[in-house]
């Protein structure tokens, strides 16, 4: 079973920051937080992952709370091409099995 809780949908204006929340209150000490997104009828695409510290790459930033029970994925300047379902996954790093919930459908509007 998925170990995360995400809102089913969110809207964001084009050019604004999109902040996608994820609750993972039962996360254990050796589990990472991963974010993927899936554009309609395609395979999921890796975005970012982290353990404790905040992370940033060319696609997004990941903010993890100090108690690690929740996190936020930030797309700093959302574009129409960022419209997708975003999945937050909690998993161990070694030979992990990913359990996908229903994710958050992000609608970026002009």
Partner 1 sequence: DGGITQSPKYLFRKEGQNVTLSCEQNLNHDAMYWYRQDPGQGLRLIYYSQIVNDFQKGDIAEGYSVSREKKESFPLTVTSAQKNPTAFYLCASSTGLGGYTFGSGTRLTVV
Interacting residue ranges for partner 1, rule: CB under 8 A: 2, 32, 34, 36, 41-46, 49, 87, 93-103
Spatial CB neighbours of 7, under 8 Å, sequence gap ≥ 6: 21, 104
Which CB sits closer to partner 1, 36 or 82?
A: 36
Least Å from the CB of residue 67 to partner 1:
23
d(CA 21, CA 88): 9
Helix (H, G, I), strand (E, B) or coil at 39: coil
Which CB sits closer to partner 1, 14 or 51?
A: 51
Least Å from the CB of residue 78 to partner 1:
22
User: Considering only CA atoms, which of 22, 20, 10, 19 is closest in space to residue 101?
Assistant: 22
- H/E element, 59: none
Which CB sits closer to partner 1, 14 or 61?
A: 61
Least Å from the CB of residue 96 to partner 1:
7
């Amino acid at each position: 079973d998925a170990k995360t809780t995400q809102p089913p949908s969110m809207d964001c204006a084009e050019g604004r920051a999109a902040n996608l929340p994820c609750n993972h209150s039962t996360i254990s000490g050796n589990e990472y937080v991963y974010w993927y997104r899936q554009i309609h009828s395609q395979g999921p695409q890796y975005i970012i992952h982290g353990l404790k510290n905040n992370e940033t790459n060319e696609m997004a930033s990941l903010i993890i709370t100090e108690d690690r029970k929740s996190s936020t994925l930030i797309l700093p300047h959302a574009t129409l091409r960022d419209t997708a379902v975003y999945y937050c996954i909690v998993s161990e790093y070694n030979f992990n099995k990913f359990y996908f919930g229903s994710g958050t459908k992000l609608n970026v509007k002009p």
